[in-house]
Structure 1
Amino acid sequence: MEKYGLEYYPVEIGKYWEYSVDSLLYGPVGHTGVDSTTSYLREEIVDTFRNDKNELVYRLDVFARSSDTLGWDLINSSFIRKDNSSLIKTENGLHFIKLTFPVTRYSNWNGNVLIHWKSAIVIKGEEIAAFDNWNYIYESLSDKLDIGPKHWDDVLTVNEADYTAFDNKRYSVAQYVKNVGPVYREQWFLDTQIYDERLTWRRKLKKV
């Protein structure tokens, strides 16, 4: 059902995705330095089952490794439910409405409506309420994207969050390719106790 956009996230047993993950971790106030790491992530659809609403659910095993020369370690499982109206992905017990159908430019939705706005993630030992003030929107259906030797046209770009206040910033964007699935994600979760509104976020981070 191409007109709906279902092909932006194909799901079937055996389907997998592998990613290189680059992270910049800033410490709390009073700590200097930035931790920069590269790791690798693999998601593979390994099974299906019916939930208590008789909906078909796909189980993804999530693997990680710190080097592309090492074997994969199983670290978690995620779950996907997909029908003609939406695709919901459950990660770490949180239910994200990643896509809605049909896919049309500038369509928007509350992709975190199933998540409590105070739900937190842990970064460097600190809990951060990461999911408030998100608004998902189909920003573009025709972006171009190069990752290493791979090039894609007609990339679907979903802007999930772009919120800035004087003491926090939340940014999240995801990109999808037809018949491939999710190929790129960028996220910023920034909090600060430096309340000088004259400073840019780059300068605030340098003061951490």
Structure 2
Amino acid sequence: MRQVLFILLMIGLGACQEEIAPPTLNFRYEYFPLSIGQQRNFIVDSVLYDPQGSRVQIDTTTTFVREIVVDTFRNASKALEYRIERFERRDPGSPWVLRGVLTESRTLTQAQRFENNFRLLKIIFPVKVDQQWNPLVFVDPATKVDVKGEPLELFKGWEATLVNIDQSWNQYLNTLEVQFSDYENAIELRRGTERYAANVGLVYRELSVLNTQCLMCQGQAWEKKAQSGFILKMRRID
């Protein structure tokens, strides 16, 4: 499925007898800064639910992640992409190990991230509270990913909403919050949110992708009744 998302930007029109300056539109690109040499450090806590017959094994891990913007290139559409190397280590005393390469791009109206063969539409510009968009413009929402041997519909029910902007959060004076998934039924949960700080970029990501077949567990917290899936929490530490 391929959809194209356009934002039409209107510019003020001058009257016949007098010239009127067009209004200035603040797109707020500072929430998704991109430049060569940027370094981002995160700590990632994850909980994985591994179904093993009649029981579920719950594994928790902590990983340190570093992303470095190392280069730019033009893609097949001639758009500018920033090449980012991703490093990981288990504890602060271990050496960094290169785990992958991803890209990000920012056009007049879109911020995108391409990772693990998925291109996601992160933000649309100019930003506005309650703005909604499809983050899966370039992704089949029925795509399944393997988590502990279980194929999960990771992107089921995803729809992005810009919840707030210019709000203080933790040590950051101005942040933007995007809820990119809020889908739930009796046996599935897909809930995710991201926060971006002005002139910093992503500072927090949380994603829960959980399934259960326990129909008698209504009212229980998902952390208790989940039988497969994962919970991921990623926060900036630099």
TM-score normalised over the length of structure 1:
0.91
Distance 1:111 1:87 in 2: 10
Aligned to 2:136: 112
Partner of 1:3, secondary structure, is coil
Q: 1:33-52 CA distances to partner (integer Å, 9 max, x unpaired)? A: 42111111111111111111
C-alpha displacement at 1:197, in angstroms?
6.5
Cα contact 2:44–2:64 (8 A) shared by 1? yes
TM-superposed CA distance for 1:16, in Å, is 1.6
Match of 2:159 among 135, 138, 155: 135
Aligned counterpart, 1:5 = 28
Aligned to 1:23: 46
Q: Distance in 2 between matches of 1:117 and 1:205?
A: 22
Q: What is the root-mean-square deviation in Å for CA atoms of aligned residues?
A: 2.1
Q: Give the number of equivalent residue pairs.
A: 204
Q: How does 1:55-94 map to 2 (within 5 A)?
A: 55-94=79-118
Q: Which runs of 4+ in 1 moved over 3 A?
A: none
Q: Within the alignment, does 1:145 sit opposite 2:166 as a pair?
A: no
Percent identical among aligned pairs is: 30
Rounded to whole Å, the distance in 2 between the matches of 1:97 and 1:54 is: 18
Q: TM-score, normalised by structure 2?
A: 0.80
Partner of 1:204: 225
3-state SS in 1 of match to 2:44: strand
Q: Give the match's secondary structure for 1:196.
A: helix
Amino acid at match of 2:77: K
Distance in 2 (alpha carbons) for counterparts of 1:37 and 1:132: 25
Shift of residue 62, structure 1, vs aligned partner: 0.8
CA separation in 2, counterparts of 1:21 and 1:202?
A: 18
Greater Cα radius of gyration, structure 1 or 2 = 2
CA distance in 2, matches of 1:32, 1:198: 18
Residue in 2 that maps onto 1:170:
190
Deviations 1:117-168 (A, max 9, x none): 122232223221110211111101133322xxxx012210000001101111
Match for residue 159 of structure 1 among 175, 179, 201 = 179
* Deviation by residue 1:6-38 (Cα, 9 ceiling, x = unmatched): 110111111121100001112216224421111
Does the aligned pair in 2 maintain the 1:169–1:188 contact within 8 Å?
yes
Q: Secondary structure at the match of 2:226?
A: helix
Structure 2 distance, partners of 1:110, 1:167, is 23
Q: What runs of 5+ residues in structure 1 fail to find an aligned partner?
A: none
Q: Deviation of residue 202 (structure 1)?
A: 4.1
Matched-pair contact (CA < 8 Å) for 2:211–2:226: no
Which deviates the most, 105-114 or 195-204? 195-204
Cα distance, 1:195 vs. partner? 2.5
- Structure 2: unaligned runs, 5 residues or longer: 1-23, 228-238
Judged with a 3 Å threshold, the aligned counterparts in structure 2 of structure 1 residues 16 and 2 are, in CA distance, closer, same or farther, namely: farther
CA contact (8 A) 1:95 1:115 kept: yes
Q: Does structure 1 retain, via aligned residues, the 8 Å contact 2:45–2:60?
A: yes
Partner SS for 1:4: coil
Cα deviation 1:67-123 (Å, max 9, x = unaligned): 111111111111112111001110101010001000111111001121001222322
AA at the equivalent of 1:204: K
- Residue type of the alignment partner of 2:49: Y
Corresponding letter in the other structure for 1:27: D
Q: Secondary structure at the match of 1:135?
A: strand
